[in-house]
Structure 1
Amino acid sequence: MDALTGAWTWLTTGANWRGESGAGHRLAEHLYFSGVCLAVSCLLALPLALWLGHIGKGGALAVNLSNVGRAVPTLAVLVLLTLTPLGRHGDLPTILALVLFAVPPLLTNAYLGMREVDRAVVEAARGMGMSPWQVFRKVELPLAYPLVMTGLRVATVQVIATATLAAMAGQGGLGRIITAGFNTYDTAQVVAGALIVGALALLVEGLLVVAGRVFDPMRRRRSTA
């Protein structure tokens, strides 16, 4: 309870949110890392996964490779990238390491979502004279949408939580609050940093859940069912 009380005091002290080392600036850095990483990961993973799921070829290899990527320790990759010439380019090592971490759930869920679409429905759409593009856009993608969004939510929460490791390689983000607390033996600051990360992850996931329901192309049919 003392730690939580101290964390609340730390969070409600305005001085802790101001300046380049303040929580406000660290939060902005964290959102930047996470946002850029997710944007790049979606551009890399989703088109490939949706296309492989549509044609039904090469998906097993892609999914297995993405599963191997899950086993790669993010901190080790981040440190190694920082030690390479890429480390001279500011936040690039952090973004690359997080992209490697975010791609697997996006790729796997999008591919499985496409392959789990009822083949009878797809054949019926083709029998009605739909082109391959129309089948993909009007049949497969709407039915695969829930799993695609699940992959996006999982990747987002994982990235927000894992981005705290950037501080271990001297980068910014909310992890710097936690590491600074450890360095000064300030338990209240450590707990406060962890609470900010947890609250941010929960808030973003909640927003994605709402967005997923609002933009669901099959929302009306699922509600009726």
Structure 2
Amino acid sequence: MNLLLEALAWLANPEQYVGPNSIPLRLGEHLVYTAVSLLIAAIIGIPLGYLIGHTGKGRELAVGLSGAARALPSFGLILLLVLVLGVTNKPEAAYTAFVILAVPSILAGAYAGFEAIDRRIIDAARAMGMTGWQVLWRVEVPLGLPILIGGIRSGALQIVATVTLAAYIGLGGLGYYIFRGLPLGRYDEMLGAAILVALLAIVIDGVLALLQRLLVPRGVTAGRTQELRTSSPRRRAVPAPPTP
């Protein structure tokens, strides 16, 4: 309890908000790493996921690669890329690691959103004379949007947590306070930085959840809610017909 109070006191100290190592500066670095990495991961993962979900080809390969990427240790991946790309290319190595760790969630959300669509809806759209592109953009993309945004949210949280490790190779971010405080025994500073990372993850997840609520068409949300209700395992007991 005392350590928590000390961490809160460290966060409330005005000295932490001025100077070259201020919290706003480190927070800004953390946000830049997160935003750029998430954008690159989305540019890679969404088209590939849409292609797999629309054509039905390459799903097994995508699932295997996604599972392998999720099993990679974040810290080890960053250090490996720094050694491979060279110490003069630390930012490139860090961004590559963040993107590799975020793509699987976004890729899975993209093609899983398509797979969750009732095939009868696709057949009905084609029966109406829609082309393949019209089916993709007017039917599959809107209906798969909720699961896609869920994958983006998962990828964003993965990046926010991993960016903390960027400070180990001298790239700043909120992890700077953790790696600075560790050898000096400043546990209040370390806990305060951890609280900031957790709060940042909660805020980003909340913003993406709000964005999901705004972007997903009401008809899609209502349809999914109705589907969940009608497919609930809790069924009302039907009385047996009276025996004659």
TM-score, structure 2 as length reference: 0.88
- Give the Cα separation in 2 of the matches to 1:19 and 1:121: 58
Q: 2:47 is matched with which residue?
A: 47
For residues 106-133 of structure 1, what are the alpha-carbon distances to aligned partners after superposition, in whole Å with 9 as ceiling and x for unaligned?
1112111112211110000000001111
Q: 2:236 is matched with which residue?
A: none
List gaps (5 residues or longer) in structure 1: none
- Give the Cα separation in 1 of the matches to 2:73 and 2:58: 26
Question: CA 1:127–1:158 in structure 2 vs 1: closer, same or farther (change >3 Å)?
Answer: same
- Give the Cα separation in 1 of the matches to 2:137 and 2:195: 41
- Give the Cα separation in 1 of the matches to 2:180 and 2:193: 10
Question: Alpha-carbon deviation of 1:141?
Answer: 0.9
1:213 has 2:219 as partner:
no
Q: 1:194 is matched with which residue?
A: 194
- Give the Cα separation in 2 of the matches to 1:207 and 1:71: 27
Structure with larger Rg: 2
> How much identity, in percent, do the aligned residues show?
36
| Two-structure CA RMSD over aligned residues (Å) | 1.4
Q: 1:21 is matched with which residue?
A: 21
Question: CA 1:180–1:147 in structure 2 vs 1: closer, same or farther (change >3 Å)?
Answer: same
List gaps (5 residues or longer) in structure 2: 227-244
Over 4 Å off, 4+ runs: none
Q: 2:221 is matched with which residue?
A: 222
Report 1 or 2 for greater relative contact order, CA contacts < 8 Å, sequence distance ≥ 6. Answer: 1
Q: Which residue type is aligned with residue 165 of structure 1?
A: L
Matched length: 224
- Decide whether the 8 Å contact of 1:81 with 1:87 is kept in 2: no
For residues 170-208 of structure 1, what are the alpha-carbon distances to aligned partners after superposition, in whole Å with 9 as ceiling and x for unaligned?
321111111111121111101100000000000010011
- Give the Cα separation in 1 of the matches to 2:79 and 2:29: 18
TM-score, structure 1 as length reference: 0.95
Q: 1:74 is matched with which residue?
A: 74
- Decide whether the 8 Å contact of 2:98 with 2:163 is kept in 1: yes
Q: What secondary structure sits across from 2:185 in the alignment?
A: coil
Task: Name which of structure 1's ranges 172-181 and 120-129 shifts more when overlaid on structure 2.
Answer: 172-181
Q: Which residue type is aligned with residue 221 of structure 2?
A: R
